[in-house]
A and B are shown apart, each in its own frame.
Chain A
Amino acid sequence: MNKACERLINGLVKENPTFVLMLGMCPTLAVTTSAINGMGMGLTTAAVLAMSNLIISLLRKIIPDRVRIPAFIVIIASFVTMVQLLLEAYLPSLNDALGVYIPLIVVNCIILGRAESYAYSNPPIPSLFDGIGMGLGFTVALTMIGALRELLGSGTFFNMNIMPKGFEPIRIFVVAPGAFFVLAALCAVQNYIKIKGEAKGKDMSKIGSGCSHDCMNCDIKCDSAKEENK
């Protein structure tokens, strides 16, 4: 049970996919126009991540090394399709709000990254909790960013009006450019913490060196792995 707890804490805090690793930036920017959208996207991704981690871990001895990436993609895409159909049936409003970004969970590098780096080499129960932890970490991050943008951009919090009367909403935060500015601020804070930490001699290598570079690395790694297998 300790192992499961450790995986949960790891995903939520130590290796938070958004704030620490800077992975999966496309949905982070696109759907965080309000707290509720961010939360919906986060939970959807968390469900897919937990299930795909569990299944990949169960099948890890059966999937041949050479075709593991396509196999992961098929498993992930199946769960995404299931989740999408469920949302269409039971939460149509959320489905409309997230639109094309739900099927795009397939190419979210958090999910493929966890499959490759954790689930493929670990037993099912820790993998499941790793998925839940990472997914919840992503949900918390998306909800926070969404809440911030919603608060500044429309003056509400989970659709409740909480700002004082004189507050003029800064509309730009809920449209596209605002997303870039919020992420820029987030990256700057992360850089600041990293520089401070390195000055004190702490190990900061886990912190993503910049948003999306991990994505590229992941691609390059996957491909160099493919080259080796040829």
Chain B
Amino acid sequence: MDTVRQLLIILIGSSLVSNVVLCQFMGLCPFLGVSKKIKTAAGMGMAVIFVITLASTVAGVIYKFILVRFGLEYLQTIVFILVIAALVQFVEMFLKKSIPSLYEALGVYLPLITTNCAVLGVALTNVQKEYGIVTGIVNGFATALGFTIAIVILAGLREKMEYNDIPESFKGMPMVLLTAGLMAIAFCGFSGLL
């Protein structure tokens, strides 16, 4: 029972309370860049959930069975970034060949994820917080879920704001950042949950 409880706490904590974009500022590039339409935002979110969950699984296994076993923990940054880059390329090729429908939905977003710092960030956080493999996967999934929630909400707000009368200098990025700031205040409200 205790493990389930702990996993639930991680799930809520990583997705809502310490939201990856709004509280930790990881993955800001896609968050600001691909949030013009709800549809593309949702697609990006799905791709991020897919890649982060997979990457935290692979990174967790490699860390536990290769790096720790041979005492090479200090190589984690180099190994993780290479594994993630290779993984994204591999997933892209695999989806293209075997599941074309999924590739069409997620394909365009996959290359953009390679340098999304949230992927590397999750792998490193899992190690820093000494999560096991299962806990790490749950944490990865929850983090990506938080990213998806945030990007879809932002895209919805941006669609509504499209025809608003905004001062010239605030058009574009400044307005999006102000919106993100207000969302961050709202997400601060979740900190009472845990």
Contact = CB atoms under 8 A, between A and B. Distances in A.
A187 B174 contact: yes
Interface in A97-136: 99-100, 103-104, 106-107, 109, 112
Interface stretch (B57-65, B157-165, B181-189): B181-189
Nearest to B113: A219
Contacts, number: 141
Nearest to A109: B115
Contacts of B8: none
Interface string B4-29: 00000000000000000011111111
A77 B169 CA distance: 38
Contact of A211 (B32, B82, B111): B32
B81 A106 contact: yes
Interface residues of B, number: 47
A191 B120 contact: no
Most central of B171, B174, B175 by chain A CB within 10 Å:
B174
Nearest to A30: B25
B181 A177 contact: yes
Query: Which residue among A26, A81, A172, A175 has the maximum number of chain B CB atoms within 10 Å of its CB?
Result: A26
Q: Chain B interface secondary structure, helix, strand, loop or mixed?
A: helix
B132 interface: no
Interface residues of A, number: 50
A131 B91 CA distance: 34
Contacts of B75: 81
A81 B169 CA distance: 40
Contact of B77 (A70, A77, A188, A216): A77
B3 interface: no
A26 B33 contact: no
B193 interface: no
A176 B185 CA distance: 8
Contact of B26 (A80, A104, A184): A104
A162 to B, nearest CB: 26
Interface of A: 25-27, 29-30, 70, 73-74, 77-78, 80-81, 84-85, 99-100, 103-104, 106-107, 109, 112, 172, 175-181, 183-185, 187-189, 191-192, 195, 209-213, 215-216, 218-220, 223
